[in-house]
Amino acid sequence: MTAFPSVSLSFVSVICNDIVAQSAFYAGVFALPTATELSSDHFRALRLGDTILGFHTTAAISLLDLPQDTPIGDAAAAFWTFEVHGKQDVDTLTDSAVAAGGRLVKAPYTTYYGAYQSVLRDPEGNVFRINKSGVA
């Protein structure tokens, strides 16, 4: 298979019940700027480096031809991992996420592969991690 050097990850999106609250949660915890030029009645976006974190209303289910019974929130089979600069950042941002309405699933710990991370759920139940690779 031939590699495509121009391929990058431009958007990572989630379908939400409340796009305003969900985008505000992540913007607040990680101090991410809003991509206001992408905002609409059905979409909110945050900038994370070269990637856009997208928050879609449930209208995306029909727009994308997904099954009407597509579950919203409580997603654990796929999750976002936010990489930070140090162990203290994991601790601080974990506390910030909980204070902002997130739920702690697993307190910061050192993984078997040498990362330091916490596992949380956002206010709609989606799983995400705060991670510092290579600390062990």
pLDDT at 64 (0 to 100)? 87
Q: What SS3 state is found at 118?
A: strand
Task: Provide the β-strand partners of residue 43.
Answer: 40, 56
H-only helix segments in 38-127: 59-63, 87-99
The whole-angstrom separation of Cα 77 and Cα 94 is: 21
The whole-angstrom separation of Cα 133 and Cα 115 is: 4
Task: Give pLDDT tens digits for 65-120.
Answer: 989 988 888 776 688 999 999 999 999 999 999 999 999 999 999 999 999 999 99
Task: Give pLDDT tens digits for 15-26.
Answer: 999 999 999 999
Q: Is the pLDDT of residue 3 over 90?
A: no
Share of the chain above pLDDT 70, in %: 93
Q: Which domains does the chain have, with CATH numbers?
A: 8-61 (3.10.180.10), 75-136 (3.10.180.10)
